[in-house]
Amino acid sequence: MKVIDRVTLQYMKRNKGRTWVTILGAVISVAMLSAVIVIVCSAQDMLLRHTIESGGQWETRFFGVAADKAAGAGKSEEVASYGISTVGKYASYPGGEATNKPYLYVSGETNFDIFNTQIREGRLPQTDTEMIVSESFSLKNPDACAIGSRITVSFGRRMSEQDGEKFELGTNYSYGGYDETFEVEEQKEYTIVGIFEAPDKEVEAFGAYRAMYGLDEKALPGNGTYEVTVDYNNYKRLGNKIYTISGELGDTLGASDIKYNTGLLGYLGISNDSSFMTMIYMLAAVVGIIILIGSISLIYNAFSISIAERSRTFGMLSSVGATRQQKRHSVFFEAACVGAVAIPLGLAAGIAGMAVTFKIINPVFREWMQNDLGLEVSLSWGGIAVIILFSALVLLISAWIPSRHASRVSALEALRQSREYKITAKSVRTSKLTRLVFGFEGELGLKNLKRNKSHYRTTVFSLTVSVLLFMTAYTFSAYVRKSNDMIQAPLSYDINVSMSDDADSMDRLSEELMGLKGAGSAVAVKKLRGEVELPADMVGSELAAVYAEENGKYNISVQLLAMDDASLRSYMQEQGIAEETLSGDGLNGILINRINFKKGHEFAELDLLNGVKTGDILDFHVTDGLKDLAEDDLKLAAVSGGKTPFGDKYVTDVYSVQVIVSMEALDKICEMLPEPKYFVTENVYYTMGENENLEDEIRTICNKYRDVSSRVNSVAAEQKEVMNGVIIISVFLYGFVALIALVSMANIMNTISTGMQLRRREFAMLQSVGMTPKGFRKMLTMEGLFYGIKGLVYGLPISIFVIWGMHRILVSNVSFSFYVPAGALTGAVAGVFILVGVTMVYGRRKARAGSIVEVLKDENA
Amino acid sequence: MEILRVEHLSKIYGQGETAVKALDDVSFSVEEGQFVAIIGPSGSGKSTLLHILGGVDTPTSGKVIIDNTDITSLNETALAIFRRRQIGLVYQFYNLIPVLNVEENMQLPLLLDGRKVDHKAYANIVNKLGLEKRRTYLPNQLSGGQQQRVSIGRALMNNPAIVLADEPTGNLDSKNSVEIMGLLREFHKELHQTLFVITHDERIALQADRILAIEDGKVVKDEVIRK
Ligand SMILES: Nc1ncnc2c1ncn2[C@@H]1O[C@H](COP(=O)(O)OP(=O)(O)O)[C@@H](O)[C@H]1O
Ligand SMILES: [Mg+2]
């Protein structure tokens, strides 16, 4: 080892505390970098697993392969496994005509594993007369799908006609969008042997459920072509070679077309059309840059401190003939030593940290992603290389400028106590006021801050960055929570089932739903949307703003609402409206005119229509845009206000008027409407009661009604979903902030305590001329106080500005006005002073270690 | 009048086998206004003695009575206050505060005490030290001799009863040495302070009223050469 390296190593050993703080800072930096890379790799890995789970592990699919060549895939050395499929065909099934999925999409398969086909019931088919059907099919057609039962299907083609010309509807034509007929070609009978789930297979063809039968590789029917799906050996390592290998294999098989599993390859980075991964990469890059800046500032600072401390040594070395290169080299050597310890430790810490983090958040994460894959720590060799490369780069950059300084230290400067040669009278000037207010010790403290610009800047910068990150993170999660609350705030129900499509079934479904036991309350509402024409002077300003005026008139959208009897009765009682109000002949309605309106951040009572009174008659009609479908005179039996029994507590948008009518009256108009009755919808609103499984029971009932499109919205479930998201984001956000804060803390500790150490001699001298312990404490407290104040003076305004920007971007202005959470403010202020306080106490301990005399005698102090 | 009395003073560094007896049962007393030179070979315990007299170090046993106060019994704060009022210390290395200018460095004990500066006395000292034109300079703008003058000024500013100087000229050339000793003696006469100077220089020792010779932590010679 060169002598200069030995001197450096000696120095590092002697200043153990400082060396460890430097290493700790570097470890945290490397750990954070590792964490970011691990997150990227693990997200990639999770998506990959997700892709494999839903579609199976295969990379390439060959089309148009002849029967005698298909098995050739098995002869290739590159292929790990393969499957042969027949070309899928549509087939109609008994009882399918009335539904929106009237077909089965059927194919024969030799290898079900390659698509990750999961058998839920029964077994896989072994012959071409045995069939498995998808779980979604069996749920909707439980009778036809009993294991062992026989099903006869009719293969054929979906045909449509345009301009007198017939054409076939392929798998990507939706059902119901075209006038289509099914031309049957052949009937076949199968035995159902199993029920499967294979998400990707199930969405291959529109208008159809998925079914597969067995295929024997050795006895492929010679007519027709096949599709061959392959999974290569070690597919993760192949990279772009996958394209050449596939091309060659395609030639061997005589394939007419090749398709790649873009989802799978995308997450491997082989093909790049995954927008999700792009987003993750972007995010990682942003976070990575913040980490790099923080790390460089810390480590740079550590090295320049080390140079300052060693300036005497450098001077001495140059006086005995060390060259500039040698002195520079010494700094890089120190960086290399730090790196040798910090990089492996940081890498391990980062991986371990993420393993623990994933373990903790996975339960929440699974629920959030609605799959059971979860995050698993995954780190590729490439990832490790990136971490090591960047860490080394950080150390190199950090050592660069200090090394130049070191090379310039001359013998003369060292002998003249070089580290103080830069102080000028001007740079340490303080005002007279300082001494008056803070006393002489306070003044001395302030002068001490000013003497070393770079220490001062580093400390204030670190404090500012910590304040900024903490406050932004805190506010971010506060804002997300608050927006969520705001969205949910106006809702007065817990579960909402909305229904459309077949009117008769809807009535039955809604009746069955109303019969559910254990809800807190339930309201069934039937809705019909139509419109009325009103003169301009009757239309309130909020409504008028939404519609276009035509010849002094407006066509205002009106929603007729009819509730179940019990709800209607209690509503009318509540509103003080006589029970018989709606019972007269014709269409009698209660107009809900005065509403609670929230505009921006203000609430206001608002009339939708001006000058309406009981007894007015409005001309109500339902129109399809061209012609009226139904029409009736709507008599206002009452004009009321407030909310409907299920409606939002307040509204933020006005676009229609609601009128409550009796169920009979509504049904009468509905009868006038032609089928299908698009304008009629039904809803059932629940509040939660003692039945905790209410939502599941609702879903079970809804699944039974195949001809009704129903949607179940659970406020609680939605809220939980958002909260899960918030929790996950918070964990990463706070983890990240905590680590950056730790880096800042290491930086501040390093700077302040080094400053103290450099001044040990001075402290001893001050004590020897009679500075009392109290005075000493006062001086250091003042220093700390000034640091803290400076950090806040910069940190608070910058944070508030950033938070303001975040509010502008993230939070739509209507939901809530800009504010800074009190917790963010108090947390930042308390945090800064605790941090500085702890550092000062630590520094004071160090400074006072050893008696006055010893320090004064110590040449190197 | 007796200003200082030392009784059975011992100082032991370390413990057991490696223990070093830096001072071994030292007793003497000093009259107010006396100029005492302390001589002895390197490592004999001179600095240790001076530091204990100045209240910056504590003895292992024995007493130091200054102006009827036993300073070995004072607590840290009381000792600090005692130091800034009664003691002036001059070191071989000047130990100035780099962020304070010449004037502030000299007035440091008064500033710490929160006392008013006696401007006449200050002007007198600055003039005698030849630092009038350097009053606003920072230490790093001064030569070694000038820095030592500032530290002497600092030791004298609070008009202490006792001035202790540990090899004050050890770091200076002969011209500066002569000047610095001249200044110390001049102030000693003018301000009637008691002055201790540790020195290796025979010529300096011979200027004193009394010479204490120390060897292996013991006073081996105590000679009053001038009354
Ligand atoms: N902190 C210490 N620890 C151990 N021994 C010490 C310490 N300080 C001084 N000594 C020893 O005490 C003796 C006296 O030292 P000192 O008073 O500095 O001598 P002088 O000033 O006469 O050269 C020496 O032998 C020295 O090694
Ligand atoms: Mg000595």
Chain A, residues 775-794, CB within 8 A of chain B, namely 775
In chain A, the percentage of residues whose pLDDT exceeds 90 is: 14
Helix axes A715-758, A275-309, angle to 10 degrees: 20
Q: How close, in Å, is residue A464 to chain B by CA atoms?
A: 26
Instruction: Return the pLDDT at A607.
Output: 85
B11 contacts on A by Cβ (under 8 Å)? none
Most confident of A596-610, A689-703, A739-753, B186-200: B186-200
3 state SS for A624-681: CCCCEEEEEEEEEEEEEECCCCCCCCCECCCCCEEEEECHHHHHHHHHHCCCCCCCEE
Q: Which is nearest to A136 in space by CA: A201, A186, A41?
A: A201
Which residue has better confidence, A430 or A211? A211
The number of the ligand 1 atom at minimal distance from the alpha carbon of B49 is 17
Q: Does A420 sit within 8 Å of B109, measured CB to CB? A: no
pLDDT above 50 for A419: no
Smallest CA separation from ligand 1 atom 14, residue: B45
Q: Does A765 sit within 8 Å of B97, measured CB to CB? A: yes
Q: How close, in Å, is residue B167 to chain A by CA atoms?
A: 13
Determine the Cα–Cα distance for residues A632 and A852; give it in Å rounded to an integer: 102
What spatial distance separates the first Cα and last Cα of chain A, rounded to whole Å? 28
Which residue has better confidence, A769 or B38? B38
Smallest CA separation from ligand 1 atom 16, residue: B45
pLDDT above 50 for A594: yes
Q: How far is CA A470 from CA A353, A473, B5, in A?
A: 20, 5, 62
Contact A479, A818 (CB under 8 A): no
Q: Does A420 sit within 8 Å of B139, measured CB to CB? A: yes
Q: Which is nearest to A128 in space by CA: A13, A39, A211, A215?
A: A215
**CB under 6 Å to ligand 1: residues?**
A 854; B 13-14, 20, 22, 40, 42-48
pLDDT above 90 for B8: yes
- A497, β-bridge pairs: A684, A712
Nearest ligand for residue A854 CA: 1
Q: How far is CA B197 from CA A670, B200, B210, in A?
A: 117, 10, 11
Determine the Cα–Cα distance for residues A39 and A728; give it in Å rounded to an integer: 13
pLDDT above 70 for A487: no
pLDDT above 60 for A861: no
pLDDT above 70 for B194: yes
pLDDT tens digits, residue range A317-351? 666 666 777 778 888 888 899 999 999 999 999 99
The number of the ligand 1 atom at minimal distance from the alpha carbon of B51 is 17
A411 phi, psi to nearest 5 deg? -60, -40
Q: Which residue among A417, A424, A770 sits closest to B81, beta carbon to beta carbon? A: A770
Instruction: Return the pLDDT at A270.
Output: 65
Predicted confidence band of residue A860 (pLDDT cuts 50, 70, 90): very low
Helix axes A3-14, A16-55, angle to 10 degrees: 90
Chain A, residues 299-338, CB within 8 A of chain B, namely none
Tokens of A688: 């939660």
Q: Is B104 an interface residue toward A (CB < 8 Å)?
A: no
Which residue has better confidence, B95 or A622? A622
Determine the Cα–Cα distance for residues A318 and B59; give it in Å rounded to an integer: 42
Instruction: Return the pLDDT at A342.
Output: 92
Predicted confidence band of residue A676 (pLDDT cuts 50, 70, 90): low
Tokens of A417: 């106590």
B112 contacts on A by Cβ (under 8 Å)? 440-441, 766, 769-772, 775
Contact A396, A296 (CB under 8 A): no
Q: Does A851 sit within 8 Å of B56, measured CB to CB? A: yes
B89 contacts on A by Cβ (under 8 Å)? 768-769
Q: Is B97 an interface residue toward A (CB < 8 Å)?
A: yes
Predicted confidence band of residue A152 (pLDDT cuts 50, 70, 90): very high
Contact residues for B170 (Cβ-Cβ < 8 A; gap 6+):
B92, B200
What mean pLDDT is reported for chain A? 82
Instruction: Return the pLDDT at A163.
Output: 82
Least confident residue range of A119-133, A157-171, A622-636, A719-733: A719-733
> Mutation test of ligand 1: which of B17, B42, B47, B48 has the most ligand atoms closer than 8 Å to its C-beta?
B48
Instruction: Return the pLDDT at A10.
Output: 80
Q: Among all residues of chain B, which has the CA nearest to that of A436? A: B114
Determine the Cα–Cα distance for residues A168 and A183; give it in Å rounded to an integer: 10
The number of the ligand 1 atom at minimal distance from the alpha carbon of B45 is 17
- Calculate mean pLDDT across residues B43-66: 90
The number of the ligand 1 atom at minimal distance from the alpha carbon of B198 is 21
Contact A315, A409 (CB under 8 A): yes
Least confident residue range of A484-488, A714-718, B100-104: A484-488
b/e map A616-631, b = 16+ CB within 10 Å:
eebebbbeeeeeebbe
Instruction: Return the pLDDT at A418.
Output: 43
The number of the ligand 1 atom at minimal distance from the alpha carbon of B166 is 21
A775 contacts on B by Cβ (under 8 Å)? 80, 112
Q: How close, in Å, is residue B199 to chain A by CA atoms?
A: 16
pLDDT above 70 for B57: yes
Predicted confidence band of residue B41 (pLDDT cuts 50, 70, 90): very high
Interface test with A, best of B97, B99, B134 (most A CBs within 10 A): B99
* Secondary structure of residue A707 in the 3-state scheme: coil
Determine the Cα–Cα distance for residues B34 and B39; give it in Å rounded to an integer: 16
pLDDT tens digits, residue range A516-545? 888 888 888 888 888 888 888 888 888 888
**Over the Cα atoms of chain B, what is R_g?**
17
Bridging pattern class, strands A628-641 and A587-599: parallel
pTM of the entire predicted model: 0.64
B138 contacts on A by Cβ (under 8 Å)? 423-425, 428
Q: How close, in Å, is residue A754 to chain B by CA atoms?
A: 17
Q: Among all residues of chain A, which has the CA nearest to that of B152? A: A769
Q: How far is CA A795 from the centre of its chain?
A: 28
Per-chain residues with Cβ under 5 A from ion ligand 2: B 47
Domains contained in chain B, CATH given:
31-59+68-224 (3.40.50.300)
Q: Does A769 sit within 8 Å of B83, measured CB to CB? A: yes
Smallest CA separation from ligand 1 atom 27, residue: B43
Cis peptide before A94 (omega within 30 of 0): no
Determine the Cα–Cα distance for residues A589 and A188; give it in Å rounded to an integer: 57
b/e map A432-470, b = 16+ CB within 10 Å:
eebbeebbbbbbbbbbbbbbbeebbebbbbbbbbbbbbb
Q: How close, in Å, is residue B210 to chain A by CA atoms?
A: 26
Q: Is A772 an interface residue toward B (CB < 8 Å)?
A: yes
Instruction: Return the pLDDT at B200.
Output: 86
Instruction: Return the pLDDT at A139.
Output: 80
Smallest CA separation from ligand 1 atom 20, residue: B43
pLDDT above 90 for B65: yes
Q: Is B210 an interface residue toward A (CB < 8 Å)?
A: no
B74 contacts on A by Cβ (under 8 Å)? none
Instruction: Return the pLDDT at A130.
Output: 93
pLDDT tens digits, residue range A281-320? 777 787 788 778 777 877 887 787 777 777 767 766 666 6
pLDDT above 80 for B164: yes
Smallest CA separation from ligand 1 atom 17, residue: B45
Which residue has better confidence, B95 or A396? A396
The number of the ligand 1 atom at minimal distance from the alpha carbon of B217 is 14
Q: Which is nearest to A399 in space by CA: A459, A327, A463?
A: A327
Which residue has better confidence, A297 or A115? A115
Q: How far is CA A70 from the centre of its chain?
A: 44
B83 contacts on A by Cβ (under 8 Å)? 768-770
Predicted confidence band of residue A385 (pLDDT cuts 50, 70, 90): very high
Predicted confidence band of residue B94 (pLDDT cuts 50, 70, 90): confident
Contact residues for A167 (Cβ-Cβ < 8 A; gap 6+):
A159, A160, A161
Q: How close, in Å, is residue A442 to chain B by CA atoms?
A: 11
- Write the DSSP string, A441-471: HHHHHHHHHHH-HHHHHHHHHHHHHHHHHHH
Q: Which is nearest to A314 in space by CA: A751, A4, A33, A638?
A: A4
Q: Is A391 an interface residue toward B (CB < 8 Å)?
A: no
Pinpoint the alpha helices (H) of A231-323. Answer: 235-238, 241-253, 262-267, 275-309, 311-319
Which residue has better confidence, A252 or A272? A252
Q: Is A451 an interface residue toward B (CB < 8 Å)?
A: yes
The conformation of residue A609, written as its DSSP 8-state character, comes to: B
Chain B, residues 60-79, CB within 8 A of chain A, namely 76-77
pLDDT tens digits, residue range B120-137? 888 888 988 888 898 888
